[in-house]
Structure formats: structure tokens, C-alpha cells
Amino acid sequence: MFEIIEKKALASEIVSLIVEAPLIAAKAEPGHFVVVRVSETGERIPLTIADYNRDRETIELIIQAVGYSTIQLSKLEEGDQLLDVLGPLGEPVEIEKLGRVVCVAGGIGVAPIYPKAKELKEAGNEIISIIGAQTEEKLIMQDRMESISEELYLATDDGSIGHEGFVTEVLESVLEENEVDEVIAIGPVVMMKAACEVTADYGIDTVVSLNPIMVDGTGMCGGCRVTVGGENRFACVDGPAFDGHKVDFVELMRRQDHYHPQEEKAMHRCKLEEEVGRDG
Amino acid sequence: MANRQKMKKQQPEKRINNFQEVACGYTKEEAVKEAERCLQCKDSPCVDGCPVEVPIPDFIEEITNENFDQAAELVKEKNALPAICGRVCPQAEQCEAECILGKKGQPVAIGALERFVGDYELKQDREIEAKTDKDIKTAVVGSGPAGLTAAADMAKLGYQVTVFEALSDPGGVLRYGIPEFRLPKSIVDEEVQEIENLGVEVRPNTLIGSTLTFDDLQEEGYEAVFVSTGAGLPYFLGIPGENLNGVYSANEFLTRVNLMNAYRFPEYQTPIEVGDHVAVVGAGNVAMDSARTALRLGAEEVSIVYRRSRNEMPAREEEIEHAEEEGIDFKLLRNPVKILGNEEDWVAELECVEMELGEPDSSGRPRPIPIEDSNFTIPVETVVIAIGQGPNPLLSKKELNLETTEWNSIVVDDDTYQTSIPGVFAGGDVIGGSATVIAAMGDGRKAAREIDKYLQQK
Ligand SMILES: Cc1cc2nc3c(=O)[nH]c(=O)nc-3n(C[C@H](O)[C@H](O)[C@H](O)COP(=O)(O)OP(=O)(O)OC[C@H]3O[C@@H](n4cnc5c(N)ncnc54)[C@H](O)[C@@H]3O)c2cc1C
Ligand SMILES: Cc1cc2nc3c(=O)[nH]c(=O)nc-3n(C[C@H](O)[C@H](O)[C@H](O)COP(=O)(O)OP(=O)(O)OC[C@H]3O[C@@H](n4cnc5c(N)ncnc54)[C@H](O)[C@@H]3O)c2cc1C
Ligand code: SF4
Ligand code: SF4
Ligand code: FES
Ligand SMILES: [Mg+2]
């Protein structure tokens, strides 16, 4: 089974779970993800393998509580078990020596960018990182990103730390001042879209990691299909990393909203359960 | 000649509001009466129609004698999943098509009798002792009917067997594809349990090619591998609008409902969205299942859109009849050309063109030809694409030595089921494209025999 052997709060509503998963830890590479189901009645949700430790036979999941399933996950404690963890899934990102790579991440996107940045650094690249969040309390993994970056820039919507505004504004000035060989951008779709618009102006290759709604994660349902370069691709097996300049972000954003009414209903239920839990 | 015993069914008006089984099965009395219709033909032509050679007259005779244990034993020797096959086999085209009685009247209801025997057996809670006494480990990849059958047979031959399954629960299409109202999941659970009782270990959440590779299996001491990963890759039409919200592949639609129990949302947390008007494209079992599922999820009007005519529909006859009884609207000789969205990019209309039938094509069926300027649209909020599926390329993408065709089918030797990798065998939908439960089981059975031969010679 998949036991949680360590739990840490990283920021407001963001937790890190170290999960025992020997087979997955043995095969994990940067860019891989897992599909998790918490309990018998749970849904299958994809989560990036934010880090892994082959000796301890563990993987790290970093979860932002945004809805029913992620809240359920965040409430688990050390010693609890996850019912299903399937992986490693997706294609790992190619790690090559390119020169100078800029890693731009927003919100929970720092989790998936970290293992790639780490390996890129180990492969001899110079890493410039730009990470952002709504506010300082929601900024995660600053220390880990710092340890592998030549330069680290911060941005928050409210200016509580770093640049006040978007990471893409910082990206613009970094590109203005540096020769850059590649950009990796991971975060909310709007952010990735904006980052690709910036890099397109500079003609710099940009890799993004897409997060469409998934079910199986093995190429069986087609629910994760995205349009890349005019073609239909399954993000779970062909991605999740793609050439950002070819992605139809507008379609992706729309598809992510497919279940909005149901998700609200589930959240409502979540709140009711909490109240019942508190009262009795 | 007495008429065939009718099986009790839930009335259409009632059943479209629930997910309970449509056909209720025979009572003991009905089963005996039906069994008595069998002429016990010496040359038993019916058996020739069964891909796993169930000894049909013999087990039916035991039913007439009310020796149900005996009947069950006879069936199970050839068919590890009788309660499942009795429900989903295309009997009308297989065993029952060959039955002598069918030449003049109605054939013996072999499938219904097999189901009766299978259900009887499940109620017995018989203690089975595992006989896996050989010190040889074998692996099965994929827990659909092909894999389960091969596993059962290899366990009976004494081998240690581990079945690796990517999903959380075993059964393959029996679990994620065929709906509850046709094949209750409790039946799948129980028949899989019987196979586990033979000493077979099922390991869920293990994607071979990713979680473990063939090399890993070899290192862990597995001496032979049977690959039965099915045909799980959904095909799309390739027409404009297929990525609009509200367009599902049948695989996604059915997986959400069957594997994830979305029909019980929010108790189960996987959501599904079905509009009042639903169009299902295709006319095989998958399409019928999707259409009838949509109805049960609350759709008011569900249409099957199919480019040929009723004669060519590939679904089991019984499913087509059930769909008709339930009020599914068949739009035959119609082909979708475009899906149109509203301003929020949700499906609003399906544009189709009328078709006519021409000369037979390579599949032997008349080729559908579009009629010029016959386009029309139907208002729909949900579209389910059920035009077929092929083998998932995931495994062959990772195992580069595994030879496949351009449609991703694994290439095997016709006689031995061996793939291009020595010691690795394959069968079921992954070698032939999508077929039937029983054909997959037939492959599993024959491959198990070949694996036994291979291991003995090794
Ligand atoms: C490859 C990949 C890697 C991811 N990695 C991480 C990660 O490391 N950490 C993290 O916190 N989140 C990650 N996500 C996003 C995470 O899967 C969703 O936040 C989660 O599924 C939301 O579920 P919920 O029930 O809590 O929220 P809900 O309220 O149900 O949904 C909130 C939003 O999340 C998205 N979502 C819902 N269900 C799914 C689903 N089954 N699959 C994908 N997205 C869904 C939808 O856009 C939805 O509007 C990743 C997504 C993908 C595709
Ligand atoms: C909706 C639907 C309805 C149908 N109705 C009927 C019917 O009424 N009658 C009939 O006879 N036939 C029917 N069929 C066809 C029949 O179900 C299939 O022909 C049959 O299930 C094929 O069996 P299989 O064992 O080859 O593969 P599958 O049943 O497809 O099972 C393959 C299994 O392998 C797993 N897998 C795949 N890749 C990997 C991997 N790399 N590692 C580990 N596991 C993996 C999959 O998750 C799956 O569980 C239907 C099919 C569908 C989709
Ligand atoms: S397994 Fe299928 S074909 Fe064989 S006897 Fe049973 S119903 Fe008929
Ligand atoms: S062909 Fe029909 S009547 Fe003859 S043995 Fe088979 S089932 Fe009985
Ligand atoms: S999640 Fe089902 S195909 Fe990608
Ligand atoms: Mg959710």
C-alpha cells in the first residue's frame, strides 16, 4: 500500500506528502506524474512527482487544496494510506545541456518545475528561476529553488514579497537582459499562455506542462486530449510537456471548466461534511 | 416443440430509471424446462459454435437432472467465467446459431442456461484448493477476459501466476466498459475471486512498460509473460468540434460511469455531465451501452447515429432490441460531419449527412456513400463517439522489441501466440483489434497451453 510517511505544510493550503511507493520511486524521472485515488468513493486525480528518493523508496507529492479531492488529500495524516497510486505516468522531459534555462512557475506550478530545474542544473545548465504566487504565504519551495538557481526572482500579485505583479513581467525583463536558450513555464494555463506570448516575441523555445482533466492517465479515455500544432494529443501519454508555442491554450482552459457545476456541488458537500464532523 | 422459456426482464419504462440488471435470469424451474428442450444431439453442432468448446449438451443434461453442481463443474472446466459469458456472449451468432432447433424454430437458450449455472455456482461458496505447486513464476499483463482465462488455466496447470493490471480493479472491459445493467460488477468481483481462489495473485495499479518493464519481470524471476492489454485506445472521428465540451469518447463516458461510479455522484466523486439530448455515434455494443447509459443518467432523448443500415449494426441482437424497447432513436444511414458549439464552446448541434449503401467494401459490408447536399443538424448537448478502439500503443512504445502492426496490434505466431520476444506471448483484443469476450478467452486458453509447452521445453 501507499503509506504517507511524512506530511508538511508548505504554505497556506499547500501540503507536501512523502508517500511510500517503491516501484514508482525506482522509475520516476522529472516530468512524470501519478494518478491518485484516496478512497473507494474517490475520483482519480493526477499529481506531479515533485521529488523522489530511490533509497527511501518514496515520492513526494505537493498538493494545493482547490476542491473536494485535493482537500481530502490535504487532510490525510502521517500513517494514512492512499488507496491507489498509479505511475510513473507521462513522458519524462528531455534533460540536455542547453546553456541558460529560465524556469518560470506560478502557484503550485513550482512543484512540477523543481525536479526538472534540478536535473537541468545537474546536467550543467545555468538556471534562472522566476516563481510567483498570489501572496507571500502561498509561495512554495523558495529554498529548494534557490539552491539550484543562479538567480531567483520572486513575484506576488499583492507585492508582499518580490516584484508586485506577474511572473511574466519579470520574465520579460530577464529575457531583455540575458541570452536564454530555453524557457520552461509551468503554472495556471493563463500564466503559461502569457509566458509563451512573451517568449514568442524573443523567439525562444518554450516548454509547458499541461494539466487537462484526466481519468485513467494511460491513454485509454481520451479525456485529456489537447490540441497541439493543430493535432489531437493525449496529454497523459504524449505529454504532459509540450512545445508551448503550438498549444491551443484557449481550448484547454475551456475544457478544464467542464465540470464546474459538479465541482461546486462536491465542494458544498465537503463543507457540510466538515460541519457535521465539527458538531459530532 | 415447446417454445423457449422467456426470461423475466425489468420493464423498459422502469429500467431506464435505474442501473439494475435488465434481464433477471431463469428460476430453477425455468432452467430445467428450457434444458428439457435440448435434443442431446450426438454430433452436438452447438459446441462447434463455441470458441471455448463448452460441452453444451452435457451440462444441459445435468440441468434436466437437477444436478447443478455437476453442470457447473462441466462448464467451468472449459469456461472460467460462465456467469459473465452467459450474459454478454453474442450467443445468437455463436453456439445458438448452430443449434439444430434453430433451423426450424427457436434454438435452445444456451447462454441463459450457462448464466443460470454460473450464478448457481457463485452462490455455492465452494472451497477451492489452489494447486499452484510448480516453482515457476508466470506473469499476465492486463486483467480482461483473455488475461483472466490464461491466469486460471496456468494456475490449474500448477504455475505461480501474477496478473498485473493498470487500473484499480480487475476485469478489463468487463469492469470499465460493460455497464452494470448488463453485467453487475458484483458478478465480475465474484468470478475474479474464484480465479484468485485458484492461487492467482492480482496486482492492480501496475502499468507494465512504466511501473515495471519486461526486464524487471524477468529479473523478478517470471519465466513467461502473457500480454492481454486489450484494445483500449479510443478512436475519434477527426471532424471539427470534437474537442468541444460535452463530447466524450465512449471509453471515457463508460469508464466514468462503470469504473468510477459517476452515476452515483456526489456520493462517488467522479463527475459526469449528460444533457437532455444525446447523440451516440456508432452501432456496436459500445454504442448501445453508451446510449442506454445516457438514458439512465437522465437524458430525455438519445439517438444512435450510424452510417450504415440496421442489418450492418455490429451490436448483439439482444442489445439492439433492448435499446429499441427503451426508446433509443436510431438515425440510420446518417454520418456526422461536424459538431457545432455554442458561444461557451459547449456542444449545441451535430451536423450529419445522409448516406446510401453501395458495393461491399474490404470488410464485406456495403460501403456507405454520402448523398450530396443532404446535410442536416440535430440539436444535442452531449455527443459520445463510439466508433471503435484499437490497441493502446503505450506498452509497445516502451518495449521496443515488441513487434506490432501499423495499427498497434501485437504480432504473434498464429500457432504458438509467441510475440517477437521469446517467452512473451499475447492474445485477446491486443492481437486482433476489438472482438468479443469469448474470443479473448479462447486466446487466453490456447496461449496458456502454449506457455505450458514452452516452459516444459525450456
Ligand atoms: C499532469 C498533471 C499534474 C498535476 N500536478 C499537480 C500537482 O503536483 N499538485 C496539485 O496540487 N495539482 C496538480 N494537478 C492538478 C490537480 O490534478 C487538480 O487540481 C485536481 O484534480 C483538482 O481536484 P479537486 O477535486 O480537488 O478539485 P475540483 O474542484 O474537482 O477541480 C478544480 C479544477 O481542477 C481541475 N481538475 C478537476 N478534476 C481533475 C482531474 N481529474 N484531472 C485533472 N484536473 C482536474 C479542473 O480544471 C477543475 O476545474 C495536476 C494536473 C495534471 C493534469
Ligand atoms: C463497452 C463495451 C461493450 C462490449 N460488449 C461486449 C459484449 O456484450 N459481448 C462481447 O463478447 N464483447 C463485448 N465487448 C468486447 C469485449 O469486451 C472485448 O473484446 C474483451 O474485453 C477483450 O478482452 P481482453 O482481455 O483482450 O482485453 P480487455 O478487456 O480490454 O482488458 C485489457 C486490460 O489490460 C489492462 N492494461 C492495458 N495496458 C496495460 C499495461 N501496460 N499494463 C497493465 N495492464 C494493462 C487494461 O487496463 C485492461 O484492464 C465490449 C467492449 C466494450 C468496450
Ligand atoms: S461461452 Fe458463449 S459461445 Fe460458448 S456456450 Fe457459452 S454462451 Fe455459447
Ligand atoms: S444443437 Fe441444440 S438441441 Fe442439439 S445438443 Fe446442442 S443445444 Fe441441444
Ligand atoms: S487521461 Fe485518459 S487518455 Fe489521458
Ligand atoms: Mg474533483
What domains appear along chain A, each with residue ranges and CATH number? Answer: 2-89 (2.40.30.10), 100-257 (3.40.50.80)
Average pLDDT of span B225-238 = 96
CB-based contact A198:A175 (threshold 8 Å): yes
- Across the interface, do B270 and A89 touch by the CB < 8 Å criterion? no
Q: Is A110 helix (H, G, I), strand (E, B) or coil?
A: helix
Nearest CA among B166, B138, B156, B41 for reference residue B98: B41
- In short, whether A68's Cβ falls inside 6 Å of ligand 1 is yes
pLDDT of residue A273: 77
What residue ranges in B319-414 does DSSP mark as E strands?
A: 329-332, 334-341, 347-360, 366-370, 376-379, 382-385, 389-390
Closest ligand 5 atom number to CA of residue A237:
4
Q: How far apart are CA B166 and CA B408, in angstroms?
A: 18
Closest residue by CA, ligand 4 atom 4: B41
Closest residue by CA, ligand 4 atom 8: B38
Q: How far apart are CA B280 and CA B300, in angstroms?
A: 14
pLDDT of residue A280: 41
Q: How far apart are CA B35 and CA B90, in angstroms?
A: 19
Closest residue by CA, ligand 4 atom 1: B99
Q: What's the pLDDT tens digit per position in A216-244? A: 999 999 999 999 999 999 999 999 999 99
DSSP assignment, residue B212?
B
Q: How far apart are CA B297 and CA B74, in angstroms?
A: 40
What residue ranges in B204-346 does DSSP mark as E strands?
A: 222-227, 233-234, 247-249, 277-281, 301-306, 329-332, 334-341
Q: What's the pLDDT tens digit per position in B202-228? A: 999 999 999 999 999 999 999 999 999
Closest ligand 4 atom number to CA of residue B98:
1
Question: Which pLDDT band, with edges at 50, 70 and 90, does B317 fall under?
Answer: confident
Is residue A236 annotated as involved in ligand binding? Answer: yes
Ligand with minimal distance to B54 CA: 3
Residue B19 reports pLDDT greater than 60:
yes
- Neighbour count for residue A175 (Cβ, 10 Å): 18
CB-based contact A216:A236 (threshold 8 Å): yes
Q: What's the pLDDT tens digit per position in A124-166? A: 999 999 999 999 999 999 999 999 999 999 999 998 998 999 9
Q: Which residues of chain B have a CB within 8 Å of the CB of A215?
A: 252, 255-256, 260, 270
Nearest CA among B195, B133, B192 for reference residue B160: B133
Q: How far apart are CA B274 and CA A262, in angstroms?
A: 12
Chain A residue closest to B345 (CA)? A254
Nearest CA among A36, A44, A29 for reference residue A91: A29
Residue B392 reports pLDDT greater than 50:
yes
pLDDT of residue B362: 83
- In short, whether B97's Cβ falls inside 6 Å of ligand 4 is no
- Across the interface, do A220 and B255 touch by the CB < 8 Å criterion? yes
Chain A residue closest to B272 (CA)? A259
Helices (H) and strands (E) in chain A, counts: 9, 17
Q: Which residues of chain A have a CB within 8 Å of the CB of B393?
A: 219
pLDDT of residue B104: 87
Using the CB atoms, write b or e for A237-266: b if 16+ within 10 Å. Answer: bbbbbbebbebbbebbebbbebbeebbeeb
- Across the interface, do B234 and A218 touch by the CB < 8 Å criterion? no
Q: Is B369 helix (H, G, I), strand (E, B) or coil?
A: strand
Residue B434 reports pLDDT greater than 70:
no
| Candidate from B211, B260, B393 with C-beta closest to A43 | B260
- pTM, two decimals, is 0.95
Q: Which residues of chain B have a CB within 8 Å of the CB of A85?
A: 205
Average pLDDT of span B152-178 = 97
- Across the interface, do B207 and A86 touch by the CB < 8 Å criterion? yes
Q: Which residues of A touch B (CB under 8 A)?
A: 23-24, 27, 37, 41-44, 68-69, 83-89, 215-216, 218-223, 225, 227, 232, 237, 251, 254-255, 257-259, 261-263, 265-266, 269
Ligand 2 centroid, distance to A75 Cα (angstroms): 36
Q: Which residues of chain B have a CB within 8 Å of the CB of A23?
A: 206, 211-212
Nearest CA among A182, A258, A246 for reference residue A215: A258
What residue ranges in B21-159 does DSSP mark as E strands?
A: 137-141
Residue A270 reports pLDDT greater than 80:
no
Residue B359 reports pLDDT greater than 70:
yes
List, in sequence order, every residue forming a beta bridge with B378; answer none if it has no partner: B350
pLDDT of residue B11: 94
Q: What's the pLDDT tens digit per position in A84-130? A: 999 999 999 888 999 999 999 999 999 999 999 999 999 999 999 99
Chain B residue closest to A26 (CA)? B211
| Candidate from B168, B260, B394 with C-beta closest to A237 | B394
Question: Which pLDDT band, with edges at 50, 70 and 90, does A278 fall under?
Answer: low
Chain B residue closest to A236 (CA)? B394
Question: Could you tell me how many residues make up chain A?
Answer: 280
What residue ranges in B204-260 does DSSP mark as E strands?
A: 222-227, 233-234, 247-249
Query: Can you read off the three cell numbers belonging to residue B56?
Result: 453444451
Ligand 3 centroid, distance to B391 Cα (angstroms): 25
Mean pLDDT of chain B: 94
- Across the interface, do A68 and B392 touch by the CB < 8 Å criterion? no
Question: Which pLDDT band, with edges at 50, 70 and 90, does A277 fall under?
Answer: low
Q: Which residues of chain A have a CB within 8 Å of the CB of B390?
A: none
Residue A267 reports pLDDT greater than 80:
yes
| Candidate from A44, A86, A251 with C-beta closest to B260 | A44
Ligand 4 centroid, distance to B149 Cα (angstroms): 25
Task: Put the strands of the sheet holding B301-306 in their side by side order.
Answer: B247-249, B382-385, B277-281, B301-306, B329-332
Q: What's the pLDDT tens digit per position in B45-101? A: 999 999 889 999 999 999 999 999 999 999 999 998 999 999 999 998 899 999 999
Is residue A196 annotated as involved in ligand binding? Answer: no
Q: How far apart are CA B371 and CA B354, in angstroms?
A: 6
Sequence-distant (≥ 6) Cβ neighbours of residue B36 within 8 angstroms: B2, B64
List, in sequence order, every residue forming a beta bridge with B366; answer none if it has no partner: B360
- In short, whether B336's Cβ falls inside 6 Å of ligand 2 is no
Question: Could you tell me how many residues make up chain B?
Answer: 458
| Candidate from A42, A255, A259 with C-beta closest to B243 | A255
Is residue A62 annotated as involved in ligand binding? Answer: yes
Nearest CA among B260, B248, B182, B255 for reference residue B19: B182
- Across the interface, do A237 and B256 touch by the CB < 8 Å criterion? no
Residue A279 reports pLDDT greater than 60:
no
For ligand 3, which residues put their CB under 6 angstroms from it?
A: B 50, 52, 54, 56, 79, 85, 89, 91, 94-95, 110-111, 114, 438
CB-based contact B181:B21 (threshold 8 Å): yes
Q: How far apart are CA B286 and CA B319, in angstroms?
A: 10
- Across the interface, do B210 and A257 touch by the CB < 8 Å criterion? no
pLDDT of residue B458: 83
Ligand 5 centroid, distance to A225 Cα (angstroms): 7
pLDDT of residue A266: 85
| Candidate from B206, B252, B393 with C-beta closest to A215 | B252
Using the CB atoms, write b or e for B389-423: b if 16+ within 10 Å. Answer: bbbbebbbeebeebebeeebbbebeeeebbbebeb
List, in sequence order, every residue forming a beta bridge with A17; answer none if it has no partner: A7, A61
- Neighbour count for residue A142 (Cβ, 10 Å): 19
Closest residue by CA, ligand 1 atom 17: A46
Q: What's the pLDDT tens digit per position in A38-75? A: 999 999 999 999 999 999 999 999 999 999 999 999 99
Q: Which helix (H) or strand (E) holds B386?
A: none
| Candidate from B168, B234, B261 with C-beta closest to A222 | B234
Domains present along chain B, CATH in parentheses: 8-122 (1.10.1060.10), 137-232+391-457 (3.50.50.60), 235-385 (3.50.50.60)
Is residue A270 annotated as involved in ligand binding? Answer: no
pLDDT of residue B450: 97
Nearest CA among B136, B182, B161, B156 for reference residue B78: B156
Q: Number of Cβ pairs closer than 8 Å across A and B?
A: 110
Is residue A213 annotated as involved in ligand binding? Answer: no
B215 touches chain A (CB under 8 A): no
Q: Which residues of chain B have a CB within 8 Å of the CB of A254?
A: 245, 344-345
Q: How far apart are CA B223 and CA B225, in angstroms?
A: 7
